[in-house]
Amino acid sequence: MHPLILHHPMLSLLLLLLLTPTSIWSRPTTGDLTTRSPTIPWPQFRKSVRTPTPTTDHDYDHHHCQRHDHDPNCGCGCDDHNPPPPPPPVDFQKRNFDTISNIYNLTVYPHQVPIILGGAAGVPPGLFSQSVVGRVDPVGDFRGFEDSIEYFFALAPLPQGNPLNAAITSYKITEFSSACSDVAASVVHLFCSVVNPGCPDDGTPLPPLKQVAFWKFDAKGDVLKYDAWIPNLNDWVVKTTGAPVFIPEGQLQSIQQICAVTQMRCHGPNQQWDSIDQCVETLAKKSYGNYDSAWGDNVVCRSIHLVLTQVRPDHHCPHVGPTGGGKCIEHDYGNDYFNDTSLYGDALGETFMCKK
């Protein structure tokens, strides 16, 4: 393995897999990750939806009524004097904030590990609807639960897999608003630092990732749609890794590594290339791209989707292959990129608006 792969944060998981006994990393046969990974603390999630406490006060007129068992014709006037209190309103602002917070909390190392190991089975309930769809600029559109959770969690870097031992180590929601129960807007800072226990550099801060997002929730408070943006992702990659992938030699080396990993991960029915050489020759003719436009028929796009091939190779291998599998393909910027109608199934401008 060429050392440059170490500089590719999106490929960071690879090294971890290579260096770790397969028995630890084999796919689970059940969704019970807690028994498989006893050393990984499992986040405790609680939804904050409150169940209204039923009141019995209106069943009695405390001054002169017998119990009247909800008789609407009660003549005692007790209901007039002692009307049923309205059920306590769901504190949807807190509920929505907590859902968003719990989502980002799962990007913090090592909370994402059960999801990398077990895919969808590792995601606690109450975060994403099964039919969730969304967009993350500059990475792409994600349709369905598995696509979405893989983007949010399986791409979060593991410290064991990159030279700086970088990981997301904490987060803060810095801006938040939710004016109605089904829509919220947020900005999060995902703080990164070196995770290298026992070594002098442990805890050294690295540049944070920032994500701006609008969210739409279903009636239960699960995320149904999202529209998110990571500004300056390319700067973050360059600054965090110092990778020389934006000079030609560095690019060729990274292509060689991407191709080697692709051949290793995508085999049998998932095989994409006849050989590593064929892959290198083809990708070297494509645009390298950069992380601010990672959605395209380019190398950077394949480097991101390559990380996901370890979670669901059958689904993601085509994305890193010759055709791009409908993901790493050229997009018609003016149409596809802004087509909220096809992504969300709503009239343009309806999805993230509070209805009055």
Ligand X SMILES: *[C@@H]1O[C@H](CO)[C@@H](O)[C@H](O)[C@H]1NC(C)=O
Residues that bind ligand X (CB under 6 A): 41, 43-44, 101, 105, 111, 335, 339, 341-342
* Shortest distance (Å) from residue 210 CB to ligand X: 18
Q: Which is nearer to ligand X, 58 or 189 (CB)?
A: 189
Residue 178 CB partners (closer than 8 Å, separation 6+): 92, 93, 96, 97, 184, 185
Structure tokens at 79: 């209901």
Q: How far is the CB of 293 from ligand X (least distance, A)?
A: 19
The phi and psi torsions of 313 (rounded to 5 degrees) equal -60, -40
Cβ 285 to ligand X, closest distance in Å?
29
Nearer to ligand X, 82 or 93 (CB): 93
Q: Are 308 and 155 spatial neighbours (Cβ–Cβ below 8 Å)?
A: yes
* Shortest Å, Cβ 142 to ligand X: 16
For residue 51, how far is the Cα from the chain centroid? 28
Residue nearest to ligand X (CB): 43
**What are the angstrom distances between the C-alpha of 270 and each of 124, 238, 264, 320?**
29, 31, 11, 11
Taking the complex as a whole, the smallest distance from the CB of residue 352 to ligand X amounts, in Å, to: 17
Tokens 């700067």: give the residue: 235
Cβ 161 to ligand X shortest distance, Å: 21
Is the Cβ of residue 140 or residue 321 nearer to ligand X in the bound state? 140
Residue with smaller CB distance to ligand X, 290 or 351? 351
Q: Where are the alpha helices (DSSP H) in 26-91?
A: 33-36, 78-81
- Alpha-carbon distance of 239 to 244, in angstroms, equals 11
| Nearer CB in complex with ligand X: 118/321 | 118
CB of 43 to ligand X, least distance (A): 3
223-229 β-sheet, strand order: 140-143, 128-137, 223-229, 205-217, 183-194, 166-180
User: 139 exposed, middle or buried (CB, 10 Å; 0-12, 13-18, 19+)?
Assistant: buried
- Our CB check for ligand X shows the closer of 38 and 75 to be 38
CB distance 251 to 240 below 8 Å: no
Q: Which is nearer to ligand X, 156 or 259 (CB)?
A: 156
Residue closer to ligand X (CB basis): 89 or 334: 334
Question: Can you say whether the dihedral through the CA atoms of 52, 58, 60, 64 is positive or negative?
Answer: positive
Find the shortest distance in angstroms from Cβ 232 to ligand X: 25
Q: How are the residues of the chain apportioned to helix, strand and coil, as percentages rounded to the nearest 5?
A: 40, 20, 45
To which residue do tokens 């992380």 refer? 291
